[in-house]
Amino acid sequence: MVVAEFVTRRSRDRNAIPVAGRCYGWRVTLPTFDTPRLCLRPFTLADADAVTAAAGVREVAATTLYVPHPYPPGAAAEWIATHADAFAQRSELTLAVVDRASGALRGAINLVLTPMFDRGEIGYWMAREGWGQGFATEAATAIVGFGFTALGLVRIVGHCMAHNPGSARVLEKVGMQREGLLRQHVKRDGRHIDVLAYGLLRAEWRGPAPTVRA
Ligand SMILES: CC(C)(COP(=O)(O)OP(=O)(O)OC[C@H]1O[C@@H](n2cnc3c(N)ncnc32)[C@H](O)[C@@H]1OP(=O)(O)O)[C@@H](O)C(=O)NCCC(=O)NCCS
């Protein structure tokens, strides 16, 4: 398992994972937690081929901002190798979404963190063959719960291209409110694209919090 180790301060909330630089005497790993059908766990280099196969599908990449297409050889391993440092520095938490029954990689999910504002931004992609089975909603619900409880976030936002109603629906099912339309906010494949902005406050969140594996 990929492990980020740094020294942290003991918190009153045993589930809390304090921010690097403020903490002493505590070892931190990327978290693993289960949902009814899925396990959200750190990626390992053994996942690289499955990432390349799933993220390499044009339909998967097309509505993301940063998944390249075609997916370059070696890019998956390079990406996975960044996850531990990114979490240790509190800039990003990225987890594999794995089918608990089969062990198959269903997708990837992340929270990009802005600790100064106690804010996170959710992102995800799911392997094409699993679309429409509720996997993105299940994984997003879990990582949002983790963000509000273990990471101490007060606001989690999500953005999706305006022509991606499936992703907008996932954000709504997680409980997010649509907060706006950002016109020509991003550029993908040479086109300027409108983006829907969603947000959820911890005060509005109705749980549940995922149980993190020891
Ligand atoms: C967006 C994505 C993650 C959704 O994954 P998923 O596992 O199929 O999502 P879920 O099954 O949890 O939920 C999808 C919801 O969107 C709905 N949906 C899907 N396509 C839709 C469409 N064209 N119009 C309206 N609703 C749509 C589904 O009906 C479902 O809602 P419901 O449960 O109320 O019926 C997946 O399509 C994907 O990986 N796309 C490519 C990458 C991407 O766009 N990532 C998000 C970037 S913001």
pLDDT class of 28 with cuts at 50, 70, 90:
low
Ligand 1 atom 48 nearest Cα: 160
127 Cα to the center of ligand 1, angstroms? 11
Lowest model confidence (mean pLDDT) among 4-18, 23-37, 197-211: 4-18
Residue 187 pairs in a beta bridge with: 192
Would you give the end-to-end CA distance of the chain in angstroms? 13
pLDDT digits (tens, 9 = 90+) for 124-140: 999 999 999 999 999 99
Q: What pLDDT sits at residue 29?
A: 84
The CA distance from 94 to 111, in Å, is 7
- What six digits make up the tokens of 91? 């800039």
pLDDT at 91: 96
**Which of 84, 101, 82, 86 is closest to 34 using CA atoms?**
101
Q: Is the pLDDT of residue 19 over 90?
A: no
The atom of ligand 1 lying closest to the CA of 125 is 39
The pLDDT assigned to 3 comes to 30
Phi, psi of 158 (to 5 degrees): -145, 145
pLDDT digits (tens, 9 = 90+) for 163-186: 999 999 999 999 999 999 999 999
- Pull the structure tokens for residue 196: 């829907």
Distance 17 CA to ligand 1 centre (A): 30
Q: What ligand 1 atom has the least distance to the C-alpha of 131? A: 8
Q: Any idea where the domains of the chain sit in the sequence?
A: 33-201
Positive or negative: CA dihedral 194, 195, 196, 199: negative
Q: What is the mean pLDDT of residues 2-19?
A: 34
Give the pTM.
0.90
Kind of pairing between the strands at 155-161 and 119-126:
parallel
Tell me, what's the pLDDT at 9?
A: 30
Mean pLDDT to the nearest integer, 107-120: 98
Tell me the CATH architecture of domain 33-201.
Answer: 3-Layer(aba) Sandwich (3.40)
Around ligand 1, the residues with Cβ closer than 6 Å are 60, 63-64, 124-126, 130-137, 160, 164-167, 169-170
Where in the chain does DSSP place strands (E)? 33-34, 38-41, 92-99, 105-114, 119-126, 155-161, 177-188, 191-201
Q: Is the pLDDT of residue 2 over 60?
A: no
Query: Taking all residues of the chain, what is their mean pLDDT, rounded to a whole number?
Result: 89
Structure tokens given for 153: 């976030």
Higher pLDDT, 8 or 65: 65
